[in-house]
């Protein structure tokens, strides 16, 4: 055992499950069917709230939508093609959603997909605003079941993703304490700012 004295113990990093292309095509098709079956909900999404749509998406659709590959990009694009018009301000008849609106909705919704997955796994508590894409959207979030939820802005969510995104992914997928502590520290820092 004397030879091990200088070794450092490195914690193995958990691997986020990757959906293979054969399964991804089936999941993307299911996502398409869910959206097609949700036309009435999408027409009223700003008043009903994004949580209603999330309730219709199964875990595999959420996971694929945040997967960092071409299948994830396709799934996000499919979701955003319906969510951008549903969450943007009323458009005049015949007008289309502009690229800035699509980017704003995508930047707001993508972290929400991860947070919803974390909520379902029981690693966080989250209450979404009806429309996370509006500038003054407020979320209610707790990274620990025993800690009360706190109100945070969409801007704070974006900052958490930018500053400690890997820890947020670890928290939402695995609920590990190291990730929880990192995200909690960023939440506290955001509250002070």
Q: Tell me the pLDDT tens digit for each residue of 28-57.
A: 999 999 999 999 999 999 999 999 999 999
Domain membership flag for residue 13: no
Give the chain's domain count: 1
Q: Is residue 9 part of a domain?
A: no
**Cα–Cα distance for residue pair 44/94, rounded to 1 Å:** 18
Q: Which domain holds residue 92?
A: 19-192
Q: Coil, helix or strand for 176?
A: coil
**With pLDDT > 90 as the criterion, what percentage of the chain qualifies?**
75
Q: Does a structural domain hold residue 11?
A: no
Tokens of 159: 């900052």
Asked if the structure places residue 108 within a domain, the reply is yes
Does a structural domain hold residue 6?
no
Whether 145 has a pLDDT exceeding 90, the answer reads no
Is 7 a domain residue? no
Which residue, among 112, 118, 82, 79, has the nearest Cα to 97 in the 3D structure?
Answer: 82
Q: Give 190's contacts (C-beta < 8 A, 6+ positions apart).
A: 152, 156, 159, 160
Flag whether 182 is in a domain: yes
Cα 91 to Cα 53, 82, 84, 129: the distances in Å are 21, 14, 11, 21
Q: Is residue 23 part of a domain?
A: yes
Exposure string for 93-105, b = 16+ CB within 10 A, e = fewer? eeeebeeebbebb
């Amino acid at each position: 055992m004397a030879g091990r004295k200088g070794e450092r113990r490195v914690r193995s990093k958990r691997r986020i499950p990757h959906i293979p292309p054969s399964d991804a095509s089936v999941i993307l098709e299911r996502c398409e069917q869910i959206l097609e079956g949700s036309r009435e909900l999408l027409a009223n999404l700003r008043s009903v709230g994004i949580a209603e749509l999330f309730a219709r998406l199964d875990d595999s659709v959420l996971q694929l939508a945040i997967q960092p590959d071409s299948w994830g990009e396709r799934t996000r694009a499919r979701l955003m093609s319906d969510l951008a018009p549903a969450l943007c301000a009323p458009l005049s008849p015949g007008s289309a959603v502009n690229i800035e609106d699509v980017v704003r909705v995508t930047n707001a919704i993508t972290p929400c997909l991860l947070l919803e997955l974390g909520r379902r796994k029981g690693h966080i508590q989250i209450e979404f605003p009806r429309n996370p894409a509006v500038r003054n959207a407020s979320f209610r979030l707790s990274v620990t079941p025993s800690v009360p939820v706190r109100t945070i802005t969409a801007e704070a969510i974006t900052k958490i993703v930018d500053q400690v995104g890997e820890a947020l992914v670890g928290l939402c997928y695995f609920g590990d304490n190291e990730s929880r502590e990192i995200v909690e520290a960023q939440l506290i820092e955001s509250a002070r700012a």
